Amino acid sequence: MGKKIKKSKTVSSSVCRIHKSKNFTLLSNSFLRSSNLSLASVGLLGRVMGLPEEWDYSVKGLTSICKEGETAIETVLKDLQEWGYLKISKLYPNETEDGRIHYVYDFYESSEKDKTLSCAVLAEGNMLSNKSKRCRVNKTDNFTIVSSLLLRSKEISLKALGLLLRVLSFPDDWDYSVSGLVAICKEGKTAIDSALKELKNAHYLC
């Protein structure tokens, strides 16, 4: 009798299904870490980047999704314009369907105007040795992934949102302190303390 041929077991191929929320926004670290922009400007630009593409932008529209009033929003928009993160074009009646003047807001996540040293580089000189505080976030190259729910929340001010987004953009092992945050922001210690207190009250900081 010939040898019995042992049948090899057939191993079924694995199936992997990933179920995850798509409610996230990819933000460029170019503006998150800009030492030229105010925290409120970082917060507003981050919020805008998290909005649907078909959303209509106007001062009134932005005011409706922010805690700040129109005057504060206009100040932030001027800051973004100054550093090349926003361009506002005016359309005259003969250029629009309804025969009225319209404004087109073009927001950019990076700017050729903004050539200052990234605050991530400045932050290296403010790292603590005790590693008592850390921030962890998923990143892809020079981007930071944040929750769209956070960006669209009207619960915190643009200043507090801007500080939170900036901190989230730091490397995983970056350690921070109030003095370290002051060193990489345009705002002073009082403003930083106020933003941190607001984030703590809203349970974004513990």
The Cα 96–Cα 90 span in angstroms is: 10
| Least confident residue range of 4-8, 38-42, 96-100, 110-114 | 4-8
Candidates 201, 109, 196, 122; CA nearest to 159 is 196
> Average pLDDT in the 120-147 region?
52
Rounded (10°) angle between helices 39-49 and 158-168: 80
Predicted TM-score (pTM) of the model is 0.77
Percent of the chain clearing pLDDT 90 (strictly above): 40
Taking only the tens place, the pLDDT of each residue in 18-73 is 444 568 899 999 899 998 999 999 999 999 998 887 776 788 889 999 999 999 99
What's the pLDDT at 129? 35
- In contact, 66 and 85? CB cutoff 8 Å: no
Q: Is 147 exposed, middle or buried (0-12, 13-18, 19+ CB in 10 A)?
A: middle
- Please state, as a whole number, how many other Cβ atoms lie within 10 Å of the Cβ of residue 72: 17
What's the pLDDT at 133? 38
- In contact, 71 and 152? CB cutoff 8 Å: no
Taking only the tens place, the pLDDT of each residue in 138-187 is 444 588 999 988 998 899 999 999 999 999 988 766 767 888 888 889 99
Listed in order, strand segments (DSSP E) in the chain are: 24-28, 86-91, 102-107, 139-140, 143-147
The Cα 115–Cα 122 span in angstroms is: 14
